[in-house]
Amino acid sequence: MEMLNGRELAKNIKKTITEKIKIITKTTNQNPALATVLIGENPASQIYIQSKIKACHEVGIKSYHYNLSTNATERDIINLINDLNNNSNINGILLQLPLPQHSLTNNCINTINPNKDVDGLHPLSYGRFSLLKSWEDILKSNLLVPCTPLGIMKLLQYYNIEVNKKLVLVIGRSNLVGKPIAMLMLAKNATVIMAHSKTVNLKQLTAIADIIIIAIGIPNFLSNKYSLKKGVVIIDVGINRTQHGICGDVDLDYVKTKNVAISPVPGGVGTMTITMLLENTLKAFINQNKLKFPQL
């Protein structure tokens, strides 16, 4: 079993981002700035926000945090987002999910200015990268692509894992991971099969896939119930808190004796997700200020 560790790659990318921001600050006397918005006091969300704020400070991105109460109305949230949209000192806006009232999520996300949508979840953000045919076109356009899928693509590239003409099985159909990673894989000329927890013939699909990306949110879901192709690459996006600690969607006890490559949990995709948030914030700054800057 080979581990696809995201920490080393994330460290390298952060170093590059830091160097670019130093150049930008020296030439423009400005710093990219990210606004994080948290509704309520969800302990897990608070930890995520703090890790993002810390990462911003490490690379030279200014960080502004806004915390509304659990009882905040949709109008309260939208008014705050509109204020941030109109604030020229803010380049990126991140609304921490999930919201206490899930029914408000779409309207609130849709309020974010797509040019500041560093999570890449606005419908216009989705449309922009989905309509481009190739991965090269997506990179050249400096688009704000959803962070976790973008991190997965860079992790595969870092380990020289070929996607072109491969059979990729995506298990999970969320807007955060499943759907956008499928589009990015198609842009890399992969043949993509979308699956989920209700897929009837999942056992047959895992047995033939060259790459499996699982983001289903069920601890140890991919277990010895499922056959795996020799040499398969598995990207485990799941972060599940259990009584035994944090684990992914893949049963490591099962795959550790197999000829596979897998991203660990923690230390794999999660580390890359935060790093891609920093990269998207820098991209947003570059785009908004119409700077001529080397491709990230």
d(CA 94, CA 90): 11
What pLDDT score does 255 carry? 92
Write out the two tokens for 75: 């109008």
CATH of domain 28-113: 3.40.50.10860
pLDDT one-digit tens code per residue, 110-125: 999 999 999 999 999 9
| pLDDT reading at 62 higher than 60 | yes
**Averaged pLDDT, 148-177:** 96
**Averaged pLDDT, 68-74:** 94
Decide whether 28-113 matches 135-270 in CATH topology: yes
Other C-beta atoms closer than 10 Å to the C-beta of 167 total: 16
Q: Is the peptide bond before 114 cis (omega within 30 degrees of 0)?
A: no
Please list, in sequence order, all residues whose beta carbon lies within 8 angstroms of the beta carbon of residue 3, skipping any fewer than 6 positions away.
261, 262, 263, 264
What pLDDT score does 293 carry? 63
| pLDDT reading at 248 higher than 80 | yes
DSSP-assigned beta bridge partners for residue 33: 62
How sure is the predictor about 263, in pLDDT bands with cuts at 50, 70 and 90? Answer: very high
pLDDT one-digit tens code per residue, 273-294: 999 999 999 999 999 998 876 5
d(CA 94, CA 81): 10
Q: What is the mean pLDDT of the chain?
A: 94
Please list, in sequence order, all residues whose beta carbon lies within 8 angstroms of the beta carbon of residue 240, skipping any fewer than 6 positions away.
217, 218, 219, 246, 247, 248, 249
pLDDT one-digit tens code per residue, 73-107: 999 999 999 999 999 999 999 999 989 888 889 99
Helix, strand or coil, per DSSP, at residue 55? helix
Domain assignments of the chain as residue spans, ordered by start: 28-113, 135-270
The answer to whether the beta carbons of residues 195 and 226 sit under 8 Å apart is no
Q: What is the pTM (predicted TM-score) of this model?
A: 0.94
More confident residue, 163 or 266: 163
CATH of domain 135-270: 3.40.50.720
Return the percentage of the chain with pLDDT > 70, whole number. 99
